[in-house]
Chains A and B, each alone.
Chain A
Amino acid sequence: MIALGRLKSWEGLLLAILVVVVAMNVMRSPYYLGIDNVVNLFQLSIEKIIVALTMTMIIVSGEIDLSVASIMGLAAVLLGCLFKAGIPMPAAILIALLSGLAAGLFNGFWVAQAGLPSLAVTLAGLIGYRGLARVFIQDHSIGGFPAWFDTIGQQRTVGPLTISIMIFFILFVIVAVTLHGSGLGRLVYAIGNNTQAARYAGVRVKLIKLCLFGASGLVAALAGILYGARLGSVRGDIATGFELDIITMVLLGGVSIFGGSGNIIGVGLSILVILNLRNGMGLANITGDTQTSVVGALLILSVLVPNLMHTLKTKWKERKT
């Protein structure tokens, strides 16, 4: 019964949409479910879906992080500049990752410690970190990375999978366990539901929020480096505008923008829906902006339809009594 009840819920809806989309795509092209296309499907948006995982935790805790795309850019650009300056690649990667962590903690400090609204703080981050990236790289483009680095983003090293896809799956498991199988996860939900109550109950709200933003920055930096590895070169405008796609993925997954509800399975399904939808529209020669607008419509409908159903249901009950 519980399983049946779940199917009627959000995840059920997403699953139904997913089945329809995949069925339509398979009808269009018999090779659609071939391993090559499926790997390609993930590979083309791998950076966004990696960041969507930590974004899920941030939004569940009732905050938002608009600065992720700029942190991705900052880390990638920093990596490029350090490489150009002759610093060995592993050290450069480490520094780039640390810069992301620092940027995330900086956001977290203002949100958690100073109590500023995360929307404003990370908007400042969105503009500021992108600006820093521009300061470092100006209007140049840096490429010619060592072959092994490009391999990380492009080559299928683990069976048919690339290293970035492996990283995504590992992170997915980590986030799923943290959010749904650990005490920390329960605290994140508690904070999202009612920060004040959580604080009075002795939850270390500030520390947890700081950690969440730090993790978001670190993972965004990792995603930025992977993006650089996939493209083979970095520029100042790398990953611009990704934050909207990432947040759309999380919200479509049924995570409430007000925090405290939603789960990682929903986000996983929503990622699959969006990837398949975009790929299918690509097969039908529908271009980028139209694809984005279909995803946007889906986002609005995903909240609108349940709201209307709820209203109709209560009206119907009122009439009966």
Chain B
Amino acid sequence: MNWLQRRVRPEQIRELSLLLLIILAVTIFGSLIPYYYTSRTFDRIAESVTIIGIVGIGQTLVVLTRNIDLSVGSIVGCTAYFIGALIAGNNGINPLAAILLAIAMGAVMGAINGVLVAWARVPSIIVTLGTLAIYRGMLVDLSGARTVTSDSLPGWLLNLARVNLLTIGMVRIGALFTIALSMVVIFQIGTTYLRAGRCIYAIGSNPDAALLIGLPFRRLVFLVFVISGALSGLAGFVMLARFGNITVEAGRGLELEVVAAVVVGGVNIFGGSGSVVGATLGAVMLGILEQSLLRLQISEFWRDALLGLLILLAVASDAVILQRLRTLWGRAELKVAPGMPPPVPETEKGVTNP
């Protein structure tokens, strides 16, 4: 037990158990569904994880600072539509410029959220509930309820969803999936090793303390909203490439799926703990559940009911089991280093205000 306690933090146990759960789910579905272990299954799941996963990274950063971003669905819809309309009207546009434009557009929308939360000190749930409606209203008004159709888009954009960068056995890794994967790697490393990344955790753990020791509190909160917006913009571009046909309804309700993935992935809704990889695993879990239950047909209607239960289980296990583990780990540390000051007991869960 001792070597385990020294090598693994309780937070990592959460990610490992989610990984085990994913393997378990795949095994169970594999025995129920014929031809489950094929590249088609992988493609389907990878496709559905790509968008949720990208937006989930930004959401994780926001939730880590004890905020929430409910406007992501509308940002994804706006960028997918407007960039789509732009490319449709101007087929010769440079692909890289189009991607950067999508990211920039999302970043601007995120920056509006960020200014209101960080400097005007409006609670994030109010700001993003408002911009959720405002951005969607903007999309419906400015688009005149028209649709971007795939035949008006250039070939390179539609091919992006079919290009394979790498083939391992039967599994093909597509370009869009690679974008998502590289984002996960970049942000996981960033939040683990960069100064700004650690500061984000500090802010979420204890905002008052972070302010007192002089962390650039406002700037970091602003930054996470900008990143969340920018990644939503990227996800909007991915949505455009994948579907081709974009209506004003694109991305509606996405925010709930993303928050669900983040919560299932073990990111604490009160900030300060969780990781980008965890949130991505959460998105993978939801993707597997969605695609596999779809294949089971009879149980299609059970998907949401199971999903709700899964979220509840994730949160409950976090509160009950992890709390125990942390005390256990804490005691072990005391034995290992008797000279260290005793760990301050955490305040009881659920009694602090959100």
- List the interface of chain A (C-beta within 8 A of B): 62, 64, 110-111, 114-121, 123-132, 134-135, 138, 194-196, 199, 241, 244, 247-248, 251, 257-259, 287, 289-297, 299-300, 303-304, 307-308
Expressed in whole angstroms, the minimum distance between the Cβ of A192 and any Cβ of chain B is 8
Question: Would A199 and B129 be within 8 Å (CB), given that A123-B260, A128-B305, A129-B308 are in contact?
Answer: no
* Interface residues contributed by chain B, number (CB under 8 Å): 54
Describe B's contact surface by its main secondary structure. Answer: helix
- The docked-state distance in angstroms from the alpha carbon of A294 to that of B131 is 10
User: Would A196 and B134 count as touching, CB distance under 8 A?
Assistant: no
Expressed in whole angstroms, the minimum distance between the Cβ of B124 and any Cβ of chain A is 9
In the assembled complex, which residues on chain A have CB atoms less than 8 Å from the CB atom of B14? none
Expressed in whole angstroms, the minimum distance between the Cβ of B347 and any Cβ of chain A is 8
A244's partner among B123, B132, B135 (CB-CB below 8 A) is: B132
Nearest B-chain residue to A256, judged by Cβ? B123
User: Would B131 and A289 count as touching, CB distance under 8 A?
Assistant: no
- The docked-state distance in angstroms from the alpha carbon of A134 to that of B307 is 13
User: Would B141 and A307 count as touching, CB distance under 8 A?
Assistant: no
Q: Which one of B212-220, B231-239, B314-322 is at the A interface?
A: B314-322
Nearest B-chain residue to A200, judged by Cβ? B351
B308's partner among A118, A124, A258 (CB-CB below 8 A) is: A124
User: Would B122 and A293 count as touching, CB distance under 8 A?
Assistant: no
- The docked-state distance in angstroms from the alpha carbon of A292 to that of B248 is 15
Per CB-CB distance, the 4 closest pairs between chain A and chain B, nearest first, are A128-B308, A115-B350, A293-B137, A131-B304
Does B13 touch A at the CB level, under 8 Å?
no
User: Would A258 and B350 count as touching, CB distance under 8 A?
Assistant: no
B351's partner among A115, A244, A291 (CB-CB below 8 A) is: A115
A-B contact count (CB 8 A): 158
Which of B129, B304, B311, B352 counts the most chain A CB atoms within 10 A?
B304
Question: Would A290 and B303 be within 8 Å (CB), given that A115-B351, A119-B354, A300-B122 are in contact?
Answer: no
A127's partner among B132, B135, B308 (CB-CB below 8 A) is: B308
Question: Would A123 and B121 be within 8 Å (CB), given that A296-B132, A299-B126 are in contact?
Answer: no
User: Would A296 and B137 count as touching, CB distance under 8 A?
Assistant: yes
In the assembled complex, which residues on chain B have CB atoms less than 8 Å from the CB atom of A247? 129
New A-B pairs, 7, CB < 8 Å, besides A127-B256, A248-B129, A259-B353: A64-B354, A117-B354, A123-B256, A131-B303, A247-B129, A293-B138, A300-B126
A131's partner among B120, B127, B307 (CB-CB below 8 A) is: B307
* Between-chain CB contacts (< 8 Å), 8 pairs: A115-B351, A116-B319, A120-B269, A135-B301, A289-B248, A296-B131, A296-B132, A307-B122
User: Would A131 and B133 count as touching, CB distance under 8 A?
Assistant: no
Expressed in whole angstroms, the minimum distance between the Cβ of A75 and any Cβ of chain B is 16
Expressed in whole angstroms, the minimum distance between the Cβ of A117 and any Cβ of chain B is 5
Which of A62, A131, A134, A248 counts the most chain B CB atoms within 10 A?
A131
In the assembled complex, which residues on chain B have CB atoms less than 8 Å from the CB atom of A127? 256, 260, 304, 307-308, 311
- The docked-state distance in angstroms from the alpha carbon of A287 to that of B129 is 19
Does B263 touch A at the CB level, under 8 Å?
yes
Expressed in whole angstroms, the minimum distance between the Cβ of A239 and any Cβ of chain B is 14
Expressed in whole angstroms, the minimum distance between the Cβ of A136 and any Cβ of chain B is 9
User: Would B136 and A128 count as touching, CB distance under 8 A?
Assistant: no
B140's partner among A116, A290, A307 (CB-CB below 8 A) is: A290
Expressed in whole angstroms, the minimum distance between the Cβ of A65 and any Cβ of chain B is 13
In the assembled complex, which residues on chain A have CB atoms less than 8 Å from the CB atom of B308? 124-131
User: Would A130 and B126 count as touching, CB distance under 8 A?
Assistant: no
Expressed in whole angstroms, the minimum distance between the Cβ of B118 and any Cβ of chain A is 12
Nearest A-chain residue to B313, judged by Cβ? A124
User: Would A257 and B311 count as touching, CB distance under 8 A?
Assistant: no
